[in-house]
Every structure is written in C-alpha cells, then in structure tokens.
C-alpha cells in the first residue's frame, strides 16, 4: 500500500530509484537494527562483558531470524518503537540462555540511530556514484561544445554571446563542489550511536567507551566524541546537503526546459520512442525528466526545515522532533536520488542543436554584439560617445529591420573610423567570448580531480 507517489510501483519510476528504496526500505531498516545488535554482541563477547557463547548465538540468530510483521506492528503500537519487538524476536531466536544477553547496555535510540547511520552511509554511496557519473557527462558536454556559440540570456533576453560548453561548465561546477561537500560530510554522519539510557553508558560502568569504540569498528563507522542522541546536526546537515544538490539539479532542469521550448529549440531531452508524449497531441515531446527533477527538488528542499526543526531536541531524549526524522530522511534520499538519476540521463544523452543556437543568436541581426562594438569604439571615440553612437545604430536597426553592422555603417562617427571588415570583426559573436575557454578549463580540471578521488 503506497500513499506517497515516491513509494508507488507506478509513479516511483519517476520520483525515485529502486536502489535507494532498497537502502531505506522498512525491512532494510529492521535488518540494519539486527546488524547493530549482532555487532554489539560480538564486541561485548570479545571484551568479556557477555559470555562468548551467547555472543555467537546472538550474532548467528540476528542473521537468520524471521521477523513477524504483525507481531512487530503490535509491539510498535504499544511501545512506539520497533526495537522492543526486534529484541524480543532476536532473544527467542538466540535461545533462552544466550538471549538474556541481547541488547546489553543499549537503549532503543542507540540501535535505531546506528541503523540509520548505516543507511545514510549506503545512501550517500549511491548519491556519490551517480553524482560523479553526472559530473563526467557534463564535462564531456562542456568539452564537446566549448566553441558552440549561442545567445547568453539575462532576464530571459539576449545579453551577450556565450558557448554551450560554458553553460555545461556552469551546470557542472556546483556538482563538483557537491562531491567535495559529500566527502566532507561523510565522517560527520557515518557515526555509531551508543550512549545507553541517558547518554552516560552507566550500565556498562568502566567499559562503556570500549564498547562504543568497538561497535564503531565492527560496523565500519566512526566513534563520535560522545553520544549524539539529542545532537542532530549531522542528520540535519545530510538532508541540507541533499537539498543543495537538488537545487543545483533544478537549475539544470530549468535551463533545459527553457532551451527546449518550441520557439527556442536549442536542446531536447534524450530521445526515446513515446517518451514525453501527449495523450492528444502526437507532436509533443515534453521535457519529462526535467519536470520531475523540479518536482522532486521542491519536495526534498521542503524537508530541510523539517530536519532542522528536529534539532530542537528536549533534554536527554526528544519527545517528537526525533520521530519526525523518520518521515523526512528516507524521503529526502529517495527524491534526491531520483532527481539525480534524471539529471545523469540528461547529461549523458542531451540533444544539442548547434544550428538552431546559431540561428537564434543571429535572430536580432547582430544586436547582441552591441556591447562588443561599444567597447571596440570606446578607445577611438571615448566611452560616452561610443555608447551614444551604438545606441543610435541599435535604434535604426530595430526600426528598419536591418543588421547592426549595416546600421553602424550609416553612423558618420563610426564609418569614418571603421571599414566594413572591421565592423564585421566587431560584430562576430565568436570574437567576443572573453575568458570562456579558461573558465571551461577550470571546470574540467575540477571535474577530473573529483572523478579521480
């Protein structure tokens, strides 16, 4: 039974990924809790805190116990958390003697937070792999189209010439930074939780720290300086990172949608028969991937304040804020990964129409080069006089529907100083790209660095 479309067997193909749902599936969460219980028993067995035979029995049982969902649901309704039911099932499976050593010195939140940290670790690994693949694909676009000149647009109007390679580099650069952010984030969030009932590990007396550090090593995670039951900055930062990532993906999607408009037609989403079709208009090729990137981004970003609000945990155990994380964290991961998968597919298969870009660039008869002409004339006429001359020529070009170069040739102050060949050079968009190639080179160098890491 799916209520959220991201978890639907139908809409889920658009709003998420099966790989990420597998990481955050309800059953996977329970499995991770059992993994934590097993690891805890093994560590305590090695330290002599529980009998070695009991530790082995608990560890073996954790790997094979079948949880009765109906029984677990009944326990959750009574208790409010699944750990009591899971421990009861594990205790039975381990046997009477060994079972009494299950969950030794731990508290519910230790098990749930540690299980969640394992899920975060796996989720971030999936994000990183697809993020690096998207970076590589955008780098290829930037290199392939570094000289594909097109109209740069500010306020959705022609501004100055750019190249599609630079546009791809602008899409690429924040994603490179997100790879770096992710790598910096992981040590702060891939941490075990083990603090006992009130964060003191009093039940384990002098052995508490040894168990906590051993548990972290056993699970392949970091041991935090102290328990973080009510210090939720790490999980909030994780969802904040996903929100930032979705924002950068939404920028790409927005540009693709605008460039794919019929009247613009400079790019199109990867072609697949029937994709983006309309039930009534056979000619349509809607930007479906970009649309779902935007939808997923909006919802994932809406979860950021939920997680930040959950940081206001009361005293030594939160009464409500922590529980809200259970709703927000898995959905943020699923939606962000779904958006990232769409963006990866866009980057790997985007159709780029260089001829249409050139046609649109020339649509104003060279008016897009007004700044270039003004800057070229300024050393000859002075900046103010050059501005006025070009402004008059632009007015004539617009009024009479002629090209800017032609209109400039009718300006006496210009015609006496620049011949036709010089005007042609000044109005050539490919000659007014500034540091475009250097910017692309910088973006590609950064992309190579994170791809190697």
What residues act catalytically? 278, 317
Q: How far is CA 448 from the centre of its chain?
A: 19
253 Cβ contact list (under 8 Å, min separation 6): 287, 289, 290, 291, 293, 294, 297, 342, 343, 346
Which three-class secondary structure string do you get for 192-258?
Answer: CCCCCCCCCCHHHHHHHHHHHHHHHHHHCCECCCCCCCCCCHHHHHHHHHHHHHHHHHHHHHHHHHH
Of 142, 177, 152, 151, whose CA–CA distance to 437 is shortest?
142
Distance CA 395, CA 370 (A): 11
Distance CA 440, CA 146 (A): 7
Helix (H) or strand (E) holding 161: strand 157-163
345 Ramachandran zone, left/alpha/beta (phi>0; psi -120 to 50): alpha
User: How far lies 352's CA from each of 46, 266, 385, 392, 406, in Å?
Assistant: 61, 6, 40, 36, 31
Q: How far is CA 95 from the centre of its chain?
A: 45
Of 148, 366, 146, whose CA–CA distance to 266 is shortest?
148
Both tokens of residue 182? 């992710």
Q: How far is CA 278 from the centre of its chain?
A: 29
Pair 106, 194: CB distance under 8 Å: yes
Of 276, 205, 275, 299, whose CA–CA distance to 16 is shortest?
299
Q: How far is CA 50 from the centre of its chain?
A: 44
Distance CA 436, CA 277 (A): 37
User: How far lies 86's CA from each of 33, 75, 95, 311, in Å?
Assistant: 8, 9, 14, 27
């Amino acid at each position: 039974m799916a209520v959220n479309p991201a978890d639907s067997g139908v809409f889920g193909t658009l709003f998420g990924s099966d790989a990420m749902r597998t990481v955050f599936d309800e059953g996977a969460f329970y499995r991770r809790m059992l993994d934590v219980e097993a690891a805890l028993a093994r560590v305590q067995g090695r330290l002599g805190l529980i009998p070695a035979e009991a530790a082995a029995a608990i560890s073996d049982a954790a790997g094979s116990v079948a949880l009765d969902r109906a029984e677990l649901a009944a326990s959750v309704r009574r208790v409010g958390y699944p750990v009591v039911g899971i421990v009861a099932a594990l205790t039975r499976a381990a046997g009477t003697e060994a079972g009494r050593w299950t969950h030794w010195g731990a508290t519910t939140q230790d098990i749930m937070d540690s299980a969640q940290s394992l899920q975060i670790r796996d989720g971030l690994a999936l994000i990183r792999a697809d993020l690096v693949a998207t970076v590589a694909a955008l780098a290829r676009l930037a290199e392939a189209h570094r000289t594909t000149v097109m109209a740069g647009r500010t306020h959705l109007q022609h501004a100055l010439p750019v190249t599609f390679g630079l546009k791809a580099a602008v899409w690429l650069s924040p994603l490179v930074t997100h790879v770096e952010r992710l790598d910096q984030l992981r040590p702060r969030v891939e941490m075990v939780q083990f603090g006992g009932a009130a964060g003191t590990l009093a039940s384990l007396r002098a052995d508490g720290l040894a168990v906590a550090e051993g548990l972290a090593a056993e699970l392949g995670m970091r041991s935090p300086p102290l328990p973080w039951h009510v210090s939720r900055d790490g999980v909030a930062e994780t969802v904040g990172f996903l929100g930032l990532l979705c924002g950068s993906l939404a920028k790409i999607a927005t540009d693709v949608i605008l460039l794919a408009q019929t009247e613009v037609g400079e790019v199109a989403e990867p072609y697949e028969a029937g994709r983006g079709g309309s039930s009534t208009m056979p000619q349509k090729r809607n930007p479906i991937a970009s649309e779902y990137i935007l939808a997923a981004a909006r919802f994932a970003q809406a979860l950021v304040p939920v997680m930040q609000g959950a940081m206001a945990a009361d005293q030594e155990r939160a009464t409500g804020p922590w529980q809200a994380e259970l709703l927000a964290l898995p959905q943020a991961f699923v939606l962000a990964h779904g958006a990232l998968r769409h963006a990866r597919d866009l980057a790997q298969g985007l159709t780029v129409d260089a001829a249409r870009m050139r046609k649109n660039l020339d649509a104003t008869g060279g008016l897009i080069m007004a700044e270039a002409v003004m800057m070229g004339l300024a050393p000859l006429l002075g900046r103010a006089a050059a501005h006025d001359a070009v402004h008059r020529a632009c007015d004539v070009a617009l009024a009479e529907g002629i090209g800017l170069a032609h209109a400039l040739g009718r300006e006496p102050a210009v015609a006496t100083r620049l011949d036709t060949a010089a005007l042609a050079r000044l109005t050539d968009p490919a000659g007014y790209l500034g540091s475009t190639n250097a910017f692309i080179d910088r973006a590609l160098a950064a992309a190579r660095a994170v791809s190697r890491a």
